[in-house]
Chains A and B, each alone.
Chain A
Amino acid sequence: MIIERILIFLLFIIGFAAIVAMPNIIKKIFGLNLMNAAVVLLFILEGSRIGDQAPILGDGVKHIVDPIPQALMLTAIVIGVCVSALALALAVRLYKATGSLDINVITKRLESEH
């Protein structure tokens, strides 16, 4: 359990670092996705503490995992997809407007427009 936690933490940190430090906006969006994925995994891991079978009740199914985190994460994944799609659409717009994907260059070019 502890190894999984460390790995999830690393995934989260990598994502956060990408958002803060990477100048490329596409990589920033990747970072956001990584962070989201880390939290999703954390919830799922937590839910699997009490069982190891999928929560679809039928004959002989015992020791199911906690179904609530799974239901929540389904929603969280959907929201994550929406946000990434929108972010990528905005990235395309920014590229069309300025011809660059580097956030610093974009900021500079947009400022000089005025």
Chain B
Amino acid sequence: MSIETLSLAPIYLPLLGAALILVCKSFFPTKIRRLAEYMGTILGLGLPPVIVLFLYPTLQQQGSIDLVIGSYAPSIGINFSFDGLSILMILLAACVTIPTWIYSRKVGPAHSNFTALVLIQNAAISAISMTSDLFNLFVCLEVMGVVAYVLIASSQKGNAVHASFSYLMFSSSAMVFFLLGVFGLYRLTGSLSYDGITQGLAGLGPSEQKTALFSLVLLVVPILLRVAVMPLSLWLIDAHSKAPHAVSALLSGVLLKIPLFALIRVLHLTPLASGMGLPISWAGTITALVAVLSALAQSDAKKLLAYHSISQIGYVVSAWGLALHTGLETQAGALLLAASLFHAFSHALFKALLFLSIGTTTDCSGNRDVYTLRGANHRLRQEGEVLPLTMLCYFIAALSITALPPFNGFFSKTLLTYSLKGGWQYAILSVAGAGTVASFMKLSRIFLPSKQPFEPIVKESLPRFPFTLHLGLSILAALCVLTGIFAPNLIFFIGTLLGGAYALDYGNQFFFSASNLLKTLYTLFGGIALFALAVSKPGSKVLYRLKAMKSSFSDLFLGFAAAIAALLLMLLQH
């Protein structure tokens, strides 16, 4: 088997696994069906990360593995290019998907359809990470989208179906605009592969350049919608909070980030796009702050987490946009990109853990309101949990997201804010960090002991705390701790994978310097102060107002139009 064929394995192995599961489900008895499900999962989820790591030495030698599907001429065929960024995306998807799948085994949605959908999703993610063909990117994004709609609706509740429907309408109509952008670039350059477009765009006149710019905006905005940068993030709240817990973990952990890093390649096409970096970075920074304030106002535990997903993705986008602005070839740009990738990675881990542990807790208590739910650990014990693992995992994740050492959030946030130092983004993100502390203090109150007596909830027949649930949670928690301990090595690894000419050597002395620790302390105190303000009378009134603001279906499109107009205006002024 040639190295080129092997590099496509992360795409076709999950598809093969999904096909195996679906065929056996339709034609064979239960026993074979279950066997096929495990076989398919090992094939589609377990093998790809191994193969990807196996290909790593080859990549170090030659930079990237380029191939054309079906060995057509590169100008006609679909081009794929497997590089360090692909490895990172595939590993990110695997790190979150495998524990989440294990978690879902007994507590649901444990259906062979769910496994097959997750596998198809992973195939789409691998394809997005490798493709260097614009139309292929469109197809893969749509495949990923369709799977996401089905997964959100899989809880069968009316609310989830509604969330899925709004997401579908919004995201699919945005993808039509993406197709228009593809059309624009194809018309100008007569090519769809990234290389062909770069060559075609190089020799354009000024009026054609404007068309190219407009097409690029039409490509970027739908992708930023998937990433949920404000003002394009309204769909996320319902979709992430109404979906089943395992699906929420996948959506927040993986699906938000993949399109963002696929966008790097598209924007790398032409120097025209570098003007887009700065406005995107601003949007990300503002997103981080506004979303964290909205999170502080929420009463529903999962909604609070959904707002935090937007806020943390704001951090990632902020550094990502600035990296594009400074240029990926410079040392500052390489550092910014690595920091944003590392934060995306650690956010994937701790946010998945948060969704799973909070989901388990709220299910057991039959209450999702953070104002009324108290003594949650007592509830968990009452439901039959022997070791307080769920609570422990929640606290590991909460300490990670509030950026306390030695968990991964501390390292990634410190590196990210360090790389932004000097800009006003730094100041805003520091305030957002305090907001994160405050809102997690609010959420953690559900574990405070309660004085009220408990009424036992109606017992269901299936065991509440099967082994798989704890195993899934523990793997994610262990990954959170390990990526924290080995953060310096990981950053170095990310640096080499991005093909950087600059070694990113940030050791423990850098992270545990006096100024960084002092900053963490300030953030902590700022968070406590903010929390005190939020629970005070005037503070809670303001937050109540914020929570009462409702968004309707057409607001989604208003945000979409505003984003396109704003980006276009800013670019045309250059």
Contacts and interface: CB of A to CB of B under 8 A. Distances in A.
B183 A35 contact: no
The DSSP consensus for interface residues of chain B is helix
A25 interface: yes
A41 B157 CA distance: 38
A108 B80 CA distance: 47
A94 B172 contact: no
B554 A110 contact: no
Contacts of B146: 79, 82-83, 86
A113 B319 CA distance: 41
Interface residues of B, number: 32
A20 B165 contact: no
Interface string A6-47: 000000000010011100010011011001100100110010
A20 B554 contact: yes
A54 interface: no
Contacts of A29: 169
Contacts of B168: 83, 86-87, 90
A113 B159 contact: yes
B460 to A, nearest CB: 21
A109 B172 CA distance: 25
A29 B135 CA distance: 23
A62 B557 CA distance: 45
A86 B135 contact: no
Interface residues of A, number: 37
B498 interface: no
Contacts of B169: 19, 28-29, 32, 87
10 contacts: A28-B169, A32-B169, A43-B183, A46-B186, A68-B192, A72-B135, A76-B179, A87-B165, A106-B162, A107-B553
B302 to A, nearest CB: 13
A83 B142 contact: yes
The DSSP consensus for interface residues of chain A is helix
Given A42-B183, A86-B146, A91-B165, A16 B173 contact: yes
A103 interface: yes
A53 interface: no
B532 interface: no
A72 B168 CA distance: 22
Interface in B176-195: 176, 179-180, 183, 186-187, 192
A97 B158 contact: yes
